[in-house]
Amino acid sequence: MSLVGRLRSHDDTQSWQGGYAPYDLVKELVIAVGVITLLAVLFTVLFSSPDDKPSTIAQWSREMPANFVTAAAKELSGTSATAEYGPPYNHNGEGQHAAFLYPQKWLGVSHPINTSNDFVIGPLKTVPDDPSLHSALAQYQSAPEKTQKAWGEAYAKPLEEYETALEEKKAPPKTVSVDSSTGVVSVQAPGAGPVPIMMSGLLDLAKSGGLDGTLLTSRQFFQTDYTKPLLFMSDGGLLAERAEAQHLLGSQWGMMNETGSYPGQAWLWLYTLWYQVEPFKASANADILVMLVMGVLSLAFICIPFIPGIRSLPRRIPIHRLIWREHYRSAGESQPDA
Amino acid sequence: MSVAPAKPSWTARTREAAVAALPPEKLLPDSQPTYVASWIYIFGVASIASLMVIIGSGVILSLKGPAWWHDTSIGHFFNSIHLWAVELFFFAMVVHLWGKYWMAAWRGGRTRVWITGAVTFLVAVPTALTGYVSQQNFDAQWIATQAKDGLNSVGVGAFFNVTNFGQMYSYHVLLLPVAVSALVVAHVLLVRRHGVVPPFPLAAEWPRAGESENAKTPGLTGVEGVSSDADGASS
Amino acid sequence: MISAGVLGAVFNLNHSAHVVHWHFFQMSVANIVLIVCMLLVFALAILLPFPGSRRRAGRP
């Protein structure tokens, strides 16, 4: 048999020539709407729905000041995840690829973000009546790029050691201290130039709530695009800490889950499963690889009627005999005796 | 002097094509083939009913705006109905899908019925996603900052920004529900046009005791008596 | 963190989810219940008799 012949299914389905029975479709729909409404109301009364309050940069900076300052330093020096993300935010990375496919790069930078200016310098410029801060800003902006980089690295190093010590539950280095009552972060970083003053100023702005506001409305008063504050927060540890507690991390199959003990998006089970297995698990291109696999499977799902083997499985595994048992029984009874 | 017959108007042609494809008794039949006799058949209408409850509760939520459900108990009540209706929608759709797969419901020229159904399911997934990222709570923050990576990796993130609440709310409240509804309408009209798929013909693999394998296959003609119209697909 | 609407629910599901672990597989109990219910409902839908069989069989 040719390939086309194999793709064309042997469809022996014929038009129904048999009997009909009364069936009230409209009544069925009305009953269905009634039942579904009742079920939805019942579940609402029994379980309600989750509504965990969103995190703010103000909360993040108050609850985890060292983590905030570490993230802010990375934004300034351009070494944060957002800074190095690539398209659609910037050109500082190529993004993910699969073989010769670079769609992330090809679609370009549609939402430009310069983390140093947008997350740090720009907001700091809005702080009024702080001559030492403005002098530090001026010093930073007038320095050559190489000097800015050196200052940033000098400041970031003790903070990274501090974060690593906390993660590994070891004693933190003495170069970083956090005053638990005031939330002031002190970093001993000789050679960091004006960066400590800038970071301290940004921390104060964040704690006051001003950073949440200025990141949102920097371009215009009316705003519905939360990309900047969300990306800045996701470069820190607060969202991930809350997510881990709620079993929402990728490694916890979090894509399927909901906050609390509510059922989540169970239909994403296959999508999240790929991330748990190799080669996706350890790959830097996991997202595009999983999306491609799911794209192919979705196309296959749509095209089931054309796929030999898959389309003939229902005939071979006769669940249909249970579904249509009454029909087969009455058809058998109506057969004339051989 | 003879008058040339007028060309039929577009309106007349559209009407005639629609009525030819779906005459009223086919669009809204009051009978079904006798083989439509299983509880599995209710999951299609259950999916539609769930979608109607989703849209109804969604309309109420959009009347009061996206902040309402955080601020009032009655708002939270309707949000909960909306969420549980979504769970019921996916539940019913998947059970419907399982049933239709094991019935090989694409048979007999019903390929487009399967395709519209499958695409409906696939479009419902981003419809739900846009809802989740429009919640304006912690869940929305987390889902948006995670989902962006998958979407950015395939370039979709360049024009579909899950961290842009305004865009996501527009997709969720208007664009994607219209897409899902249009697909469901197409799906149902195709089912009405082609009829509910008949059972697999009983072949020699199910002979009764003593019957030869070449006996006339029952099931094709079904119960004697009431006949349908010529194409038999009048359900 | 918990709004008034949730406090009104009969069962408070706003606590950390119980998760089932099996090898690399992890799923919240709520999702497992949902999926098991789907399989159960599918089985019941196929197995339970549908009313009106006499009406269909008796039609001349």
Q: Each residue of B75-113: pLDDT tens digit?
A: 999 999 999 999 999 999 999 999 999 999 999 999 999
Beta bridge partners of C19: C28
Q: Which two tokens stand for residue B199?
A: 């059972």
Q: Which neighbouring-strand residues pair with A14?
A: none
Domain of residue B136: give its range: 39-194
Q: What is the pLDDT of residue B231?
A: 37
* Residue where a domain stops, chosen among A245, A268, A291: A245
Q: Do residues A101 and A109 touch, judged by C-beta distance below 8 A?
A: no
* Mean of pLDDT values over A279-302: 96
pLDDT in tens, B189-206: 999 999 999 999 876 433
Alpha-carbon torsion angle B169, B174, B179, B181, nearest 10: 120
- Chains with ≥3 CB–CB distances under 8 Å to A: B, C
| Per-state percent for chain B, helix, strand, coil, to nearest 5 | 65, 0, 35
A228 has a pLDDT exceeding 80: yes
A49, A52, A253 member nearest C1 (Cβ): A52
How far apart CA A115 and CA A122 sit, in angstroms, is 10
Residue-number span of the structural domain to which A239 is assigned: 57-245
CB contact under 8 A, B99 and A323: yes
Give contacts of C3 with chain B, Cβ < 8 Å. Answer: 70, 73, 76
Distance from C-alpha of A251 to C-alpha of C40, rounded to nearest angstrom:
29
A4 — pLDDT class (breaks 50, 70, 90): low
Does residue A40 lie within any of the structural domains? no
B31, containing H or E segment: strand B31-33
Burial of A146 (0-12, 13-18, 19+ CB in 10 A): exposed
**CA B49 remoteness from chain centre:** 11
Q: How many domains are contained in chain B?
A: 1
> In Å, how far is A30's CA from the nearest CA of chain C?
18
Q: How far apart are CA B224 and CA C1, in angstroms?
A: 66
Put simply, the answer to whether A224 touches B57 (Cβ < 8 Å) is no
Instruction: Check residues B214 and B71 and name the one with the higher pLDDT.
Output: B71
Distance of CA B205 to the CA centre of its chain: 34
- Minimal Cβ distance to C45: which of B73, B80, B95: B95
> What is the Cα–Cα distance from A10 to A13, expressed in whole angstroms?
9
A175 touches A188 (CB < 8 A): yes
Flag whether A10 is in a domain. no
At B73, list the tokens. 């108990």
Bridge partner list, A186: A177
Give the mean pLDDT of A129-139.
Answer: 95
State how far the Cα of A219 lies from the Cα of A44, in Å rounded to an integer: 40
Using the 3D structure, point to which of A245, A270, A289 is the last residue of a domain: A245
8 Å CB contact between B29 and B234:
yes
Q: Is residue A284 located within the same domain as residue A149?
A: no
- Between CA A228 and CA A122 the distance in angstroms is 12
CA distance to partner chain B, nearest, from residue C12 (Å) = 13
Q: What chain B residue is nearest to A22 in terms of C-alpha separation?
A: B31
**Which among C5, C34, C60 is the nearest to B73, CB-wise?**
C5
Residue A39 forms part of a structural domain? no
Residue A158 has pLDDT above 80, yes or no: yes
Residues A254 and A240 reside in one and the same domain:
no
In a domain, B15, yes or no: no
Quick check: helix, strand or coil at residue A289? helix
Tally of domains in chain A: 2
Q: Under 8 Å CB-to-CB from A93, ≥6 apart: which residues?
A: A84, A85, A86
Residues A121 and A193 in one domain: yes
CB-based contact (8 Å) between A141 and chain C?
no
- What is the model's pLDDT at position C13? 87
How long a stretch of residues is chain A? 338
Q: Which residue of A has its CA nearest to B218?
A: A331
C28:A263 CB<8 A: yes
pLDDT for B219 beyond 50: no
Interface contact flag, C59 B39, Cβ < 8 Å: no
**Dist. CA A98–CA B14, nearest whole Å:** 47
pLDDT digits (tens, 9 = 90+) for A82-106: 999 999 999 999 899 999 999 999 9
* Angle of CA points A212, A218, A222, to nearest 5°: 90
Question: A residues 73-92 near C, CB within 8 Å?
Answer: none
Does the residue B54 lie in any domain? yes
Residue A332's pLDDT is: 76
Do A80 and A216 lie in one domain? The reply is yes
pLDDT digits (tens, 9 = 90+) for B17-74: 999 999 999 999 999 999 999 999 999 999 999 999 999 999 999 999 999 999 999 9
Q: Span A177-187, mean pLDDT? A: 89
Both A157 and A234 in a single domain? yes
Question: In whole numbers, what is the pLDDT of chain B averaged over residues?
Answer: 88
Which of the residues A10, A11, A20 would you substitute to probe the B interface, choosing the one with the greatest number of B C-beta atoms within 10 Å?
A: A20
For chain C, the domain total comes to: 1
Taking a contact as any Cβ pair under 8 Å apart, which residues of chain B between 59 and 98 contact chain A? 69-70, 76-77, 79-81, 83-85, 87-88, 90, 94
Q: Scanning the structure block, which residue is given the tokens 């009913």?
A: B49
Within a domain: A4:
no
State the nearest Cα–Cα gap between A295 and chain C, in angstroms: 23
Q: Do C42 and B38 touch (CB under 8 A)?
A: no
Q: Is residue B76 part of a domain?
A: yes
B162 vs chain A: nearest CA distance in angstroms? 8
Sign of the C-alpha dihedral, residues A23, A26, A30, A36? positive
Interface of C with A (CB under 8 A): 1-3, 5-6, 8-11, 13-19, 24-31, 33-35, 46-47, 49-50, 52-53, 55-57, 59
C25 in a structural domain: yes
Copy the structure tokens of residue A192.
Answer: 């960091």
Residues A261 and A325 in one domain: yes
* Average pLDDT, integer, range A38-57: 96
Do B227 and A17 make contact, defined as CB atoms within 8 angstroms?
Answer: yes
CB contact under 8 A, B225 and C60: yes
CATH code where residue B70 lies: 1.20.810.10
Check CB contact under 8 Å for B164 and A330.
Answer: no
Distance CA B107, CA A14 (A): 9
Min CA distance, C40 vs chain A (Å)? 15
CA angle (A21 as vertex; A18, A22 as ends), nearest 5: 150
Dist. CA B74–CA A140, nearest whole Å = 52
Residue pointed to by tokens 């072949």: B203
Please give the residue range of the domain that contains residue C22. 16-46
Whole-number pLDDT of residue A331: 80
- pLDDT value at B208 more than 60: no
Distance (Å, whole) CA B14 – CA C29: 53
Query: Closest approach of chain C CAs to the CA of B3, in angstroms?
Result: 53
In angstroms, the CA B202 to CA A219 distance is 70
A146 with A164, same domain: the answer is yes
Touching check for B231 and chain A: CB below 8 Å? yes
Q: How far is the alpha carbon of C58 from chain B, nearest alpha carbon, in Å?
A: 10
Which domain-ending residue is among A245, A267, A295? A245
Show Cβ contacts of residue A29 under 8 Å, excluding neighbours closer than 6 positions: B45, B48, B49
The answer on A255 and A239 residing in a single domain is no
Whether residues C56 and B34 touch (CB distance < 8 A) is answered with: yes
Please tell me whether residues A277 and A318 are part of one structural domain.
Answer: yes
Backbone angles phi, psi at B32, to 5 degrees: -135, 155
What residues form DSSP beta bridges with B32? Answer: A21
C6/B38 touch (CB, cutoff 8 Å), yes or no: no
User: Nearest residue on chain C to B33, judged by CA atoms?
Assistant: C56
Asked if residue A267 and residue A232 are part of one domain, the reply reads: no
pLDDT category at A3 given cuts 50, 70, 90 is low
CA distance B53 to B20: 32
C53 within some domain? no
pLDDT (0 to 100) of residue B226:
33
Note the pLDDT tens digit of each residue in C5-58.
455 788 888 888 889 888 888 899 999 999 999 999 999 999 999 987 666 665
Pairing of strands C19-22, B31-33: unpaired
Contacts B166 to A, Cβ<8 Å = 224-225
Tokens 């964040």, residue located: A206
In this prediction the pTM is 0.90
User: Looking at the structure, do residues A202 and A308 belong to the same domain, yes or no?
Assistant: no
The pLDDT > 90 percentage for chain A reads 83
Strand partners, A98: A101
Task: Report the pLDDT value the prediction gives residue B223, as an integer from 0 to 100.
Answer: 34
Say which range, A121-130, A167-176, B40-49, B221-230, has the weakest mean pLDDT.
B221-230
Beta bridge partners of B41: none
Residue from A261, A317, A322 to probe the interface with C (highest C Cβ count within 10 Å): A261
Which residues does A87 contact at the CB level (< 8 Å), separation at least 6? A95, A104, A105, A107, A108, A109, A110, B152, B158
Residue closest to B139 by CA, chosen among B195, B218, B216, B79: B79
Does residue C1 form part of some domain?
no
In which element (H, E) is residue C28 found? strand C25-28
- Put simply, the answer to whether B76 touches C6 (Cβ < 8 Å) is yes
Measure in Å the smallest separation between the Cα of A131 and chain B Cα atoms: 35
- Does residue A53 sit at the C interface (CB-CB below 8 Å)? yes
d(CA B156, CA B175): 16
Question: Are A47 and C10 a contacting pair at CB < 8 A?
Answer: yes
Spell out a b/e string for A87-118, using b for 16 or more CB atoms within 10 Å of the CB, else e: bbbbebeebbbbeeebbbbebeeebebbbbeb
Q: Assign 3-state DSSP to chain C and report helix, strand, coil percentages, each to 5.
A: 45, 15, 40
pLDDT band for position B1 (cuts 50, 70, 90): low
Determine, for residues C45 and B38 on separate chains, whether the beta-carbon distance falls below 8 Å.
yes
With respect to residue A38, please indicate whether it lies within any of the assigned structural domains: no
* Same domain, yes or no: A129 and A265: no
